């Protein structure tokens, strides 16, 4: 990120519904992840945040990235 004049990793949140591409990609790159999981699936991945409805995202962004 720094080489591309982009925000630092701690300022980035990847949001997605796919564990294999969205969330695992973020974890592997060392950035925070937010899993949109409306069906209440389970995982052993170290997800930073998990939401069941999109309206929950606003609070996460305001409190942590605002």
Q: How far apart are CA 30 and CA 22, in angstroms?
A: 12
Q: For the segment 35-45, what is each residue's pLDDT rounded down to a tens digit?
A: 999 999 999 99
* CATH number, domain containing residue 25: 3.40.50.1000
Residue 60's nearest CA partner among 51, 7, 47, 43 is 51
Cβ atoms within 10 Å, residue 56: 13
Residue 66 is assigned to a structural domain of this protein: no
Residue percentage of the chain with pLDDT more than 70: 94
pLDDT at 17 over 90: yes
pLDDT of residue 6: 79
Domain count along the chain: 1
Q: Is residue 62 part of a domain?
A: no
| pLDDT above 90 (res 16) | yes
Please check whether residue 25 lies inside any domain of the structure.
yes
The domain in which residue 45 lies consists of 2-54
């Amino acid at each position: 990120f720094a080489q591309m004049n982009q925000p630092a990793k701690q300022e980035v949140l990847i949001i997605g519904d796919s564990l294999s591409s969205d969330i695992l990609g973020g974890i592997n790159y060392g950035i925070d992840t937010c899993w949109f999981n409306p069906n209440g699936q389970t995982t052993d991945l170290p997800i930073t945040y998990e939401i069941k409805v999109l309206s929950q995202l606003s609070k996460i962004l305001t409190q942590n990235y605002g």
